[in-house]
Structure 1
């Protein structure tokens, strides 16, 4: 497999002639622009880039990218993307999916993609609702969510996409926000990772679940409730006045105050993106009293699935000459000597 040769493009080279059609104010617009801005900056080649989507609002994405694309069936984007990557490992494959598409009907496919570690990027748009089918509750909807399918409030405990990814063996797990300026940085990190880069993107559904993330995404709340992690940097938030330390007795994280910027004295720990245990704690932090961890939570590369398949095929075929006739005659064969009697 060849490394991608950077080429020079502009955002216009990634835009199609299709009218972008989502609800006015939908977070999908911001994510689309973030991707279209990011690809020129990483030197991606439209002729070697493929976007694969399932079913849902987010799955219109391939129509708006001037690349190859597949709009597939509900939950099966990972399976199609795997076939694309195995057929041509030199392609740069991006999977676009939603919380319902990836974690409900597609949960099985998503799990196997992550454990196999196919070299691709997965952008999971999480709006905690089924938007395309008019607002039913989804696997990530919170307890109490009222919807056409849960008129008295959802009783299900919500799935956490990043916890699911870590539990499935993902080697790269990150979070971003649809309209945040840091999203392109997270996209670049996922692309640089060799293996499956899983990104949960908090995306606002303005029609059916508006402002569900406002407690940490709204500007007045952002500083006190967003923790953007950086490898090798202390886990600080709220302008550096608060941080996370380890509660050794309970093996959990806890919030501490930082006085005069002395985070070491406060016991604030440093982020290690290769530490899977720490990543689990960051994604499982309670919603009350703790910030939301964002950025690259876990990044620890391992051999990719398609590289192993290519090597296995090479080893199996080494020193051998293909003989189709011999293959067809292998095993039990018989020859029909005359026409069968027809009644």
Structure 2
């Protein structure tokens, strides 16, 4: 529900002490989100942040909105129920690469394919931070950690490739330390009808410090980053042909190709296509069924005599 009261970033700061490791990239993301929220023009009581388990999942404590710190990997499922029951709310999911892609992988891909009206912020630091430095589903092969002292044998997930393969309608990537870019991507995600997945490269300076230094260092970032903008051309290699970036292309081939690219690394919106949101379709279907057959009777349903269950 829109608000007539002009809100400021301060209005979205809770009274809880922010507790992450000094220097953690989560601080920058929190500040960017709190700074962006007033742009939505939505009352705080109509905004909800749902998280799972992990460092990033402390987020709801620090937002002066409604929120839920849920169970490991289940934030997309809980947020799906909330978005379907209350389509008037702005529902955001905050998760990490371990929370979303390990125990929560199944919930994530089905939220994406259903196109529920959610905004999912996936903090990717390529490590398990809260549980003290084990390798995660996005850690590179050969990664030496406390749980892989001889090096990880797993091929890592690429979150954006996974999302596009799950038919996600909005897929983007940004970086914790680039406030302007992060805010612009949040703005586009918020405007999208359906599930928007935003991968945020986030530095864990305790257990995986410097994982994204090449993308952040002024001396290397221009060559290391491929900045995507709708309607502007890009090249996959210096001597390759120019391609005009089209986020609205219904064919996911170009977006998937970009999601596989490592050098340079694409940032920005890879894909943003229109298709009906699951919660809207579900509520329309329910309303149509009630209009056709009338409301059900719970007592009759439990007794097995309700018209919804007995036909003919």
Same fold, TM-score > 0.5, yes or no: yes
Runs of 4+ displaced beyond 2 Å: 4-8, 321-332
TM-score by length of 1: 0.85
Partner of 2:72: 74
1:277 has 2:277 as partner: no
Greater CA drift, 107-116 or 266-275: 266-275
Displacement of 1:322 in angstroms is: 4.8
Partner of 1:308: 281
TM-score by length of 2: 0.93
Larger radius of gyration: 1
What CA distance in whole angstroms lies between the structure 2 residues aligned with 1:311 and 1:206? 47
Trace 1:323-338 onto structure 2 (pairs within 5 A).
323-331=297-305
Partner of 2:187: 188
Unaligned runs of at least 5 residues, structure 2: 307-312
What CA distance in whole angstroms lies between the structure 2 residues aligned with 1:86 and 1:194? 13
Displacement of 1:328 in angstroms is: 4.5
Greater CA drift, 128-137 or 216-225: 216-225
Task: Please list the CA deviations of residues 27-74 of structure 1 after superposition, one character each: whole Å capped at 9, or x if unmatched.
Answer: 000000111111112223211000000000000000000011010010
**Secondary structure of residue in 2 paired with 1:79:** helix
**Secondary structure of residue in 2 paired with 1:130:** coil
Trace 1:115-194 onto structure 2 (pairs within 5 A).
115-180=113-178, 181-194=180-193
What CA distance in whole angstroms lies between the structure 1 residues aligned with 2:195 and 2:225? 25
CA distance 1:324–1:204, change in 2 (3 Å): closer
What CA distance in whole angstroms lies between the structure 2 residues aligned with 1:53 and 1:41? 22
**Secondary structure of residue in 2 paired with 1:34:** helix
Unaligned runs of at least 5 residues, structure 1: 236-243, 245-253, 258-265, 333-343
What CA distance in whole angstroms lies between the structure 1 residues aligned with 2:299 and 2:32? 53
What CA distance in whole angstroms lies between the structure 2 residues aligned with 1:327 and 1:156? 49
What CA distance in whole angstroms lies between the structure 1 residues aligned with 2:227 and 2:44? 31
Trace 1:91-110 onto structure 2 (pairs within 5 A).
91-110=89-108
1:54 to 44, 52, 55: 52
RMSD of the TM alignment (CA)?
Answer: 1.5
Partner of 1:5: 2
Partner of 1:262: none
Partner of 1:256: 238
Partner of 1:260: none
1:127, 1:209 within 8 Å by CA — same for their partners in 2?
yes
2:26 to 25, 28, 31: 28
